[in-house]
Structure 1
Amino acid sequence: MSDAKIREDIVRRAASLYNRGLSFGSSGNISVRVDDGWLMTPTGSSMGDLDPARLSLLDPEGRHISGDAPTKEAFLHMAMYAKRSGASAIVHLHSTHSVAVSCLKCIDQKDVLPPLTAYYVMRVGKLPLVPYFAPGDLELAKAVGEMASDHHAVLLANHGPVVSARSLSDAVYATEELEETAKLFLALQAMETRPLTADQVADLQRRFPS
């Protein structure tokens, strides 16, 4: 895919997330691995109104070389890329239901959401909770990096999900699946639920390896 098409794809998918209420204000960011580094959404920008020509380009060492200044959360992306060599894209949102789950007191911090649907297992799998750090705290990048070796998706406490994948489309689909599963989880809080069994989860993992 050419540089121009990658930029257009980022803008199109970011606008779709924004228009469906999965991003709001200037929250959320996207990055894509390219031949000469990374393209990222700029700091302070709305995902609903991006300019392809003004996307931030970072070199392989993470230095800003062209476009607007990158998202202030670029360090999160770099921490995950450092541990996931097969990742080509990362989506980070402050999506409402995922953030709501990240604020709950009694969730399993090693695996936040139960396997409610097959597609959640296939696209997200286990989702650990990263402890809370203030925005911009570099300790957050360290904590994400420690989990990224074993998990392509993490949930930041009182903050939101960070999801990596082999392509931007896969990263977006997984983030959407995570948000919808969080919504289901919250809707079912007062009810007895029947998540997939361990055997059913293992079967899905064999059929659809990540």
Structure 2
Amino acid sequence: MTNDSKLREDICFWARSMFDRGLTGGASGNISARTEDGGLLVTPTGSSFGRLDPARLSRFDAQGRHVDGDKPTKEMPLHSAFYETRKSAGAVVHLHSTHSVAVSMLPETDPDNMLRPLTAYSIMRLGKVKLLPYFRPGDAAMGDAVRGLAGKRSAVVLANHGPVVASKNLEAAIFAIEELEETAKLTLLLRGSDAVELTDAQIADVVKTFEVDWD
């Protein structure tokens, strides 16, 4: 199996895994990942994570031209913005996961750092998560909003829509977006309680130890 073929299989494997666990339903969500030649493999528009065909994934060349496969997700401007501003990005994952969307709609949510400091792992894998405003699905302005962050955030949540995470490779991006959703779930479970969060000193220790971008 070539590396390109393996990446196709991996995208479909992880997509099916997230679909089966209810992290994104119907024809929602999209994934892109860098190929060895600098191109991209992208999940097609209107496709279900539960039944992706590796051979039909959208293929882009290193110049950003669609060269093979089905029509790509309409959220390509969002994906492209992450690759342009975060040169280390090897994959981008976008879900419509329930708890993350719910937290995006709460009036008390801090738009600059929308997840409460509940666990070390959310800080390690996500850094600060930026809450972006609502945009119509497919609106190119979503990409402009990500570019406006100048590469400082690897994870954002689109209000009333869902989370988007960029990471060094596909597996890391999957693990990070799952951590985001689990932390959002904890946030809702603990809403209104006197839950003990990580202290500033504990956060600083995690940031320093794991070299987290916390600006």
Give TM-score, length-normalised by structure 1.
0.97
Q: Distance in 1 between matches of 2:17 and 2:165?
A: 17
Contiguous gaps of at least 5 residues in structure 1: none
Superposed CA deviations along residues 46-84 of structure 1, whole A, max 9, x for unmatched, are: 011000000000122322110001011111000111000
CA contact (8 A) 1:39 1:58 kept: yes
Residue correspondence of structure 1 range 134-153 to structure 2 within 5 A: 134-147=136-149, 149-153=151-155
* Residue of structure 2 in register with 1:13 after alignment: 14
Q: CA RMSD in A?
A: 1.1
Residue 172 of structure 2 aligns to a residue in which SS? helix
Q: Is 1:90 aligned with 2:105?
A: no
Q: Distance in 1 between matches of 2:145 and 2:6?
A: 33
* Residue of structure 2 in register with 1:31 after alignment: 32
Residue 163 of structure 1 aligns to a residue in which SS? strand
Superposed CA deviations along residues 14-37 of structure 1, whole A, max 9, x for unmatched, are: 000000000100000000011141
The size of the alignment, in residue pairs, is 210
- Give, as a single letter, the amino acid of the residue that structure 2 aligns with 1:78: S
* Residue of structure 2 in register with 1:117 after alignment: 119
Q: Distance in 1 between matches of 2:168 and 2:140?
A: 25
Q: Distance in 2 between matches of 1:148 and 1:161?
A: 18
Shift of 1:206: 1.4
Q: Distance in 1 between matches of 2:146 and 2:14?
A: 24
Segment of structure 1 superposing worse, 145-154 or 71-80: 145-154
Give TM-score, length-normalised by structure 2.
0.95
Q: What fraction of aligned residue pairs are identical, expressed as a percent?
A: 55
Could you list the runs of 4 or more consecutive aligned residues of structure 1 that deviate by over 4 angstroms after TM superposition?
none
Q: Distance in 2 between matches of 1:5 and 1:161?
A: 26
Contiguous gaps of at least 5 residues in structure 2: none
Residue 100 of structure 1 aligns to a residue in which SS? helix
Shift of 1:148: 5.2
Q: Is 1:154 aligned with 2:163?
A: no
Q: Distance in 2 between matches of 1:61 and 1:84?
A: 17
Segment of structure 1 superposing worse, 188-197 or 75-84: 188-197
